[in-house]
Structure 1
Amino acid sequence: MHGSIKYVACSFVIGCLAAQITTYGQSPDSLGYYRTKLTAHHKMGVSAHRGSSEIAPENTLATFRAVLQLQVDYIEIDVRTTKDGQLIILHDATLNRTTNGTGSLKEQTLAELKKLSAAQGYDEQFQKEQIPTLEEVCQLLANWNTNHTGKTNLYVDCKDVAPAPLVAILSNYGLLNDAVFYGSDEMLLALQKAAPTAKLMPGLKKIDTLTDKINKLHPYAFDVSWPALNESLVGQLHQQRIKVFSDLLDGYDLPTQYAKAAQLGIDVIQTDHVLSVYRTLTTK
């Protein structure tokens, strides 16, 4: 993403979705209609990757507010730890790509990080967006779930975080039990000790590691590499009551792949293009 690209506000994007749905002869009651149809016909959830960088800067409160309006099933967040032990949301280990700061995040205190803009490359309207804390994100999500029928849960990518403070914050906001946790096998094992009922989701890139990971981690789900997915593997995992998530990102984030995911019967797809997923799966 580059600064020359114009980023649109959430209300405009949602308005476009309503117009597109009307074009196909469907009710412009848009998102509610979509969610009902997707649940009835595909039974597949959608995870918004770092929120949605199409709408607002990744991993900011602005983008999380936007995708909550889109009624996604999961919001994926990347959790890291500051120099003074605070949990914040940032994908990279350095500040260079997404903020107006530089250097290692771990060398900065929360107070220092809060002085930065987290909208590198975005329009002026987003320049006051800061790197959010995990607690700020949890507060936003808990308030949303309290006031809306359809719940949105957290997909927690444990980038650099100790289990105990992570569990404590999510528990405090009532979000622990429905969250899914992605990370290294070692991190997930440590998390399991801190929260035995946590929904672990290890990555799966090579099928020959499947049995070992199941025996070691007893996972709720696998985040399966898209090229490794096939109907047989999905059936095998479902037979063992293990859910299947997959990242449809970069070159795989396409309507043809959304349709294939639905045909395979996977449980959740992760995307940078939530509206494109909605449009594809409600019109085919």
Structure 2
Amino acid sequence: MRYRFLLFVWAVCQLPAIAQTRISAHRGSVPGLPENTLATFRAVLALPVSYLEIDVRTTKDGQLVILHDGNLDRTTSGSGPIRDLTLAEVKQLSAGKGFGETVAKERIPTLKEVCQLLRDWNQNSPRKVHLYVDCKEVLPKPLVEELAEFGLLRDAVFYGPDEFLLALKAVFPQGKRMPALKNADELPAKIEKLNPYAFDVRWTALTSELVQQIHARGIQVFSDALGFFENADQYRKAAQLGVDVIQTDFVLRVNQALKTEK
């Protein structure tokens, strides 16, 4: 009996720790600064975040860059698909569209530039920040290689379509994969297929029962409080449900709400 008990304790200790609710900065959002740029990433690292969410895409010449949209039109001075441009061409564009002259010189960053920034931060700060990688248009192998180069691979969380995460699993089995989850019915198949570190659960699908089901399997719960759900009551509700990571465009607003929840 004692041996079985010790074996059970050992098994439980291998499960990911379910800690207090943490914050992920959506596209590095800081008010007044353009999304997915080094300017907003530098600023957000000084805020109480645990994850920096980035969107990774690939240029015509195979370079990994950070941009949410497939097209350049909304956030840059360019137009058309970013995959049709080389990195040199991409670097000629301003990534500060709509934010005035003060950030007009901001450029679309490469993944390596973001990794360098984050590695330097983590080496000089007692509060570590990890990458939440939204894999928009990228192959697993070069993504894994670049993150490994900067020592950020082990703690990065990867979000993307199930097919991409399955390919990532083949390249880097130890990766922290995070598929989307719409409802509890999807749990068994996705766990069997992907062995996820976390689920990205739709905010409207969050219930105490679903969070408990996921946690019971040693899996974490991430959720996006974007748009309509960006308010203190919703943040506190998520914390009460046991959500592990809230992704937000308003880091300080979430932090204040979580403080009052304690």
Same fold, TM-score > 0.5, yes or no: yes
The answer to whether residue 86 in structure 2 is matched with residue 109 in structure 1 is: yes
CA distance in 1 between counterparts of 2:165 and 2:260 reads 38
Say how many residue pairs are matched.
Answer: 243
Measure, in 2, the Cα distance between the counterparts of 1:116 and 1:100: 6
Q: TM-score under structure 2 normalisation?
A: 0.91
Aligned to 2:143: 166
Secondary structure of the residue that 2:98 maps to in structure 1? coil
Q: What residue identity is the alignment partner of 1:56?
A: L
Per-residue deviation at 1:257? 0.6
Percent of aligned positions that are identical: 60
- Corresponding residue of 1:189: 166
TM-score (ref. length: structure 1): 0.84
Q: What is the Cα-based RMSD across aligned positions, in Å? A: 1.0
* 1:205 matches 2:205: no
- Which whole-Å CA distance do the structure 2 matches of 1:55 and 1:239 have between them? 41
Which protein, 1 or 2, shows the higher relative CO under an 8 Å CA cutoff with sep ≥ 6?
2
Give the aligned partner of residue 246 of structure 2: 269
**1:1-284 → structure 2 map (5 Å cutoff):** 43-284=20-261
Equivalent AA in structure 2 for residue 125 of structure 1: T
Give 3-state SS (helix, strand or coil) of 1:58's partner. coil
Runs of 4+ in 1 over 4 A off after TM superposition: none
Give the drift of 1:124.
Answer: 1.5
Cα deviation code 1:193-236 (max 9, x no counterpart):
11110000000113322211011000000000011110001111
Q: Judge conservation of contact 1:55–1:66 (CA < 8 Å) in 2.
A: no
Give the whole-Å Cα distance in 2 for the aligned partners of 1:207 and 1:228. Answer: 9
Following TM superposition, by how much is the alpha carbon of 1:283 offset from its aligned partner in structure 2, in angstroms?
3.0
Give the letter aligned to residue 187 of structure 1: F
* Whole-angstrom CA distance in 1 between matches of 2:30 and 2:126: 26
Return the offset for 1:123: 2.3
Structure 1 residue 53 displacement after superposition: 4.4
- Pick which of 53-62 and 81-90 moved more: 53-62
Structure 2: gaps (5+ residues): 1-18
Which residue in 1 is equivalent to 2:13? Answer: none
Shift of 1:62: 0.4
Aligned to 1:37: none
Q: Distance in 2 between matches of 1:66 and 1:87?
A: 22
Match of 1:34 in 2: none
Give yes or no for contact 2:48–2:255 (8 Å, CA) kept in 1: no
Q: Is the 8 A contact 1:49 1:76 kept in 2?
A: yes
Gaps of 5+ in 1: 1-41
The answer to whether the Cα contact below 8 Å between 2:21 and 2:245 also exists between their aligned partners in 1 is yes
Q: Is the 8 A contact 1:71 1:152 kept in 2?
A: no
